[in-house]
């Protein structure tokens, strides 16, 4: 048995191998087992992919389902991010797929001259969503695009003094967040404030998945700040309780223990770091009876599908860390 599987109390692979999900089976072969990387062409023709693409608008975006959308931001950008997560991370669509390419071009049309993708928070900076969107586009094969490099450099310029990130609007009292606030000139971050691990984990994801930027000293410093935050309360108001670290999701969205371990070990591999070791220990100690892991998001058929995908991604990350 592989070293990483032997380190766990229970082998999670049989539970994953029993799934009838064709996309999950592809990832199991490509990312967990030593059986070679199969062609992903068949994934692009799956019914769920066609269902998502059927809702894509002629301009390349997906329309926010609740109409009218809130007036505080570009919620079509939020919905497009939500759909791209699935298409890229689950079904492996990349720059060679015309619908994916159209979606990426629409997203990049929301990039400002400064380099940041903006809109979900009105005209305010959103380094956390910016980082997650860039990560998807990089994973889809756009890492060498000058627009992506400009977006990564913008992220590096937006760091706090401690090397992480905040969402500047987080520091604004709720009473000041009027409709006009979201349309005002973007608020610059107060660099002296401590980083938000929610924002840091999401922003860092873009650097972690880029083969060159993950080697930057700034990426390593941000990874250190993120690791130091494991299992601690968020310093700002969003997803504040420590329990959010173990509310696990895939495709990735918010900063949780799984995405954080994935990102920091792309930057600095190895289990010797005490913070990484503590994260690994959580996965060893919290296996369900079938070897997979609780997600913290309840029960039901959709929750079970999510649990399988979290289990699949956890296996890939633990394999990288434990060898």
pLDDT of residue 98: 97
pLDDT of residue 271: 85
Q: Tokens representing 230?
A: 């494991």
Instruction: Encode pLDDT of 10-41 as tens digits.
Output: 999 999 999 999 999 999 999 999 777 778 88
pLDDT of residue 300: 78
Helix ranges (DSSP H) in the chain? 3-6, 13-17, 22-27, 41-44, 47-54, 75-85, 98-108, 127-137, 146-157, 179-183, 197-208, 217-228, 257-267, 274-285, 301-322
Give CA–CA dist 188/116, Å, rounded: 13
Q: Tokens representing 265?
A: 């070990």
Output the pTM of the full model: 0.96
**Cα dihedral 41, 46, 51, 54 sign:** positive
Give CA–CA dist 140/152, Å, rounded: 16
Question: What parts of the chain have a pLDDT lower than 50?
Answer: none
3-state DSSP call for residue 62?
Answer: strand
DSSP 8-state symbol, 173: -
pLDDT of residue 39: 86
When computed from its CA atoms, the radius of gyration of the chain, rounded to whole angstroms, is 19
Domains annotated for the chain, with CATH where assigned, are 1-39+286-323 (no CATH), 40-170+179-268 (1.50.10.20)
pLDDT of residue 292: 98
pLDDT of residue 35: 77
């Amino acid at each position: 048995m592989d070293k990483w599987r032997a380190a766990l109390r229970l082998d999670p692979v049989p539970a994953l191998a029993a799934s009838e999900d064709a996309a999950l089976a592809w990832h199991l072969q490509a990312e967990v087992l030593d059986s070679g990387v199969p062609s992903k062409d068949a994934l692009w023709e799956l019914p769920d992919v066609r269902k998502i693409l059927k809702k894509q608008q002629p301009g390349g975006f997906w329309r926010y389902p609740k109409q009218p959308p809130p007036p505080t931001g570009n919620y079509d950008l939020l919905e497009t991010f939500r759909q791209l997560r699935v298409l890229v991370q689950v079904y492996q669509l990349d720059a060679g797929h015309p619908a994916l390419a159209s979606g990426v071009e629409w997203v990049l049309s929301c990039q400002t001259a400064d380099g940041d993708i903006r809109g979900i928070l009105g005209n305010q900076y959103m380094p956390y969503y910016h980082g997650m969107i860039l990560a998807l586009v990089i994973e889809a094969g756009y890492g060498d695009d000058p627009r992506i490099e400009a977006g990564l450099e913008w992220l590096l310029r937006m760091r706090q003094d401690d090397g992480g990130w905040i969402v500047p609007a987080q520091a604004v009292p709720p009473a000041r967040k009027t409709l006009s606030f979201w349309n005002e000139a973007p608020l610059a971050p107060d660099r002296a404030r401590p980083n938000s691990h929610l924002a840091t984990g999401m922003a860092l994801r873009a650097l972690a998945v880029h083969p060159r930027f993950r080697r930057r000293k700034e990426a390593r410093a941000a990874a250190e700040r993120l690791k130091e935050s494991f299992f601690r309360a968020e310093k700002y108001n969003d997803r504040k309780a420590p329990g959010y670290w173990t509310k696990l999701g895939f495709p990735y969205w918010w900063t949780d223990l799984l995405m954080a371990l994935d990102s920091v070990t792309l930057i600095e591999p190895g289990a010797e770091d005490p913070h990484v070791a503590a994260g690994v220990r959580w996965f060893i100690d919290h296996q369900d009876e079938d070897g997979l892991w609780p997600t913290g998001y309840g029960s039901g058929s959709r929750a079970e599908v999510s649990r399988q995908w979290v289990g699949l991604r956890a296996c890939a990350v633990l394999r990288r860390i434990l060898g």
